[in-house]
Structure 1
Amino acid sequence: MVEVPLSRGVLLVPGFGSGPGYFAPTDAWLRSCGYEPAHASIGRNLGCTDELVALVERQLVAHAEATGGPVVLLGHSRGGALARLVALRRPELVRGLVMLGSPVRDVLGANRFVVGLARGLTWLSAIGLRGLLTADCLTGSCFRTNSLALAAPLPPRLPALALYSLRDRIAPWRLCLDPYAECVAVRSSHTGLRAAPDVFAALESRLANWK
């Protein structure tokens, strides 16, 4: 067993359309390794990007205080993109960043069906349903600002890991290759990244060695 570092907090950021128990396998594995995972409370991750980033940032602050130091941000799919945006805002609170199947190079380049669902949410938002993506998140200033941030360099002392799979049918693997992260291929479906043995093997030594 690899030695667990003093700062053991991990904040898990779920993907688009997440439900109860979304990160249960990841949570169980982290706890078995001695970490203290917390789950970002962002509902089903269907809301405005700016608002969700602010929510995750507040929970990052709280988990860092609760665990006594900087924590690892670990996000799946859209959650990885949110985690990256938060890491840019608060690098002093982040010990490392993990993105699982996160198409950070072009979030609208994901599976067309999923992007179509996102566009449908903006229509529902326009007719008055709250807490959903708005058109601004896909075509307006919210989209442009966050797209630029996703392309921005990460702080040089912030270790980052982008895991991708050639079998992924939701997030095309080339879009998951963050140029400022260590990019590692794993064998998994998109949803399976939360429980894949390859993922846990890649995480074990890196989480332990990140300072």
Structure 2
Amino acid sequence: MPTTALAPAGPNNRKPWDSLPLWQEIRTFTELGTLTSHPVWTDPPLDAAGLPVVLVGGLSVGPRMLNPLRTWLERANCRPIIAPTRYGVGCGEATAQCVQTTIRRYADRVGEPVVVIGYSRGGQFSRASTVRDPEPVRALITLASPLRSIFAVHPILKAKASALGMAGTLGVPGLMRFSCLWGACCRSLRQDLRAPFPAEVPFVSIYSEQDTMVDWRSCLDTEARHRHISASHLGMIASPQAFLAIAEELSAFVPSR
């Protein structure tokens, strides 16, 4: 069974990941700026033959932020949809159930299993959903997802989650509560993040040691194959390096026609 303990950082002299300034995420603008002129965008190295894909966003990630990835998937002849996670700010268990329902309904609609791509916290929802109902999932790809420890994120993101939890606990509708973070509310979600992953579903976790928002070691789910790329956290859904890696992974799941 996977453990929530994090792997050692290794013999290097880099700063601890959570002390790195978030200004390094500015490289996202460079990554996005080079994306649309890069061959991976102008001439996608993949014809996915209509492969159905469900995109699952993370905390504060909505359709607009996922749009570059969705558009590129369409250019690569995929059939992507975006799961309605409501920016990932609500109850984690309720959101995971919504993702599970979305995956099942889309697979039933297209008549075949779907590839699920979960970004950041969306990878947590996606893993739990697949553990609960693996049949409609062709494969799971997670991008910069803290799977081994849900709190292995930058202190700024912890503060944001705490603020959301406080607001939800005080009665603001649609927001997570403190019970979602530590209590019984999302106990099933936390358990399914540690549960054995279905052996019949290919599972790859793509991560970056340059990620300054999520501790890359928390992405190393012991049930997954690991793939490292050089990208910022946000660059995982908007950089040539990420799209090249995703294209290579998707190529293994293109259905025969």
TM-score (normalised: structure 1): 0.94
Return the alpha-carbon distance in structure 1 between the equivalents of residues 47 and 67 of structure 2.
23
Q: Secondary structure, in 3 states, of the residue corresponding to 1:129?
A: coil
2:226 aligns to what? 183
The percent identity for this pair of structures is 32
Q: Is 1:137 the counterpart of 2:177 in the alignment?
A: no
Return the alpha-carbon distance in structure 2 between the equivalents of residues 46 and 119 of structure 1.
11
Report the alpha carbon displacement of residue 95 of structure 1 after superposing the two structures with TM.
0.3
Return the alpha-carbon distance in structure 1 between the equivalents of residues 101 and 191 of structure 2.
22
Q: Is 1:92 the counterpart of 2:118 in the alignment?
A: no
2:69 aligns to what? 26
Preserved contact between residue 91 and residue 186 of structure 2 (Cα < 8 Å): no
Return the alpha-carbon distance in structure 2 between the equivalents of residues 50 and 147 of structure 1.
9
2:163 aligns to what? 120
Q: Is 1:4 the counterpart of 2:51 in the alignment?
A: no
1:42-63 deviation per Cα after TM superposition (whole angstroms, max 9, x unaligned): 2111000111011111111221
2:214 aligns to what? 171
Preserved contact between residue 8 and residue 67 of structure 1 (Cα < 8 Å): no
Q: Which amino acid aligns with 2:68?
A: P
1:89-133 deviation per Cα after TM superposition (whole angstroms, max 9, x unaligned): 110000000110001110112111111111111111121111111
Preserved contact between residue 187 and residue 196 of structure 1 (Cα < 8 Å): no
Q: Which runs of 5+ in 1 are unaligned?
A: none
Q: Which amino acid aligns with 1:117?
A: K
Q: Is 1:199 the counterpart of 2:242 in the alignment?
A: yes
Report the alpha carbon displacement of residue 2 of structure 1 after superposing the two structures with TM.
4.3
Preserved contact between residue 165 and residue 188 of structure 1 (Cα < 8 Å): yes
Q: Which amino acid aligns with 1:4?
A: A
Report the alpha carbon displacement of residue 208 of structure 1 after superposing the two structures with TM.
2.4
Q: Which amino acid aligns with 2:226?
A: C
1:167-189 deviation per Cα after TM superposition (whole angstroms, max 9, x unaligned): 10111110111111111111111
Equivalences, count: 210
Q: Secondary structure, in 3 states, of the residue corresponding to 1:178?
A: coil
Return the alpha-carbon distance in structure 2 between the equivalents of residues 19 and 34 of structure 1.
22
Return the alpha-carbon distance in structure 2 between the equivalents of residues 118 and 67 of structure 1.
36
TM-score (normalised: structure 2): 0.78
Return the alpha-carbon distance in structure 1 between the equivalents of residues 129 and 63 of structure 2.
23
Q: Secondary structure, in 3 states, of the residue corresponding to 1:44?
A: helix
Cα distance 1:29–1:20, how it changes in 2: closer, same or farther (>3 A)? closer
2:16 aligns to what? none
Q: Secondary structure, in 3 states, of the residue corresponding to 1:55?
A: helix
Does 1 or 2 have the higher relative contact order (CA < 8 Å, sep 6+)? Answer: 2
Report the alpha carbon displacement of residue 39 of structure 1 after superposing the two structures with TM.
0.6
1:2-27 deviation per Cα after TM superposition (whole angstroms, max 9, x unaligned): 4536x711010011012341111111
Preserved contact between residue 103 and residue 171 of structure 1 (Cα < 8 Å): yes
Return the alpha-carbon distance in structure 2 between the equivalents of residues 72 and 20 of structure 1.
18
Preserved contact between residue 101 and residue 193 of structure 1 (Cα < 8 Å): yes
Cα distance 1:3–1:17, how it changes in 2: closer, same or farther (>3 A)? closer
Report the alpha carbon displacement of residue 143 of structure 1 after superposing the two structures with TM.
4.1
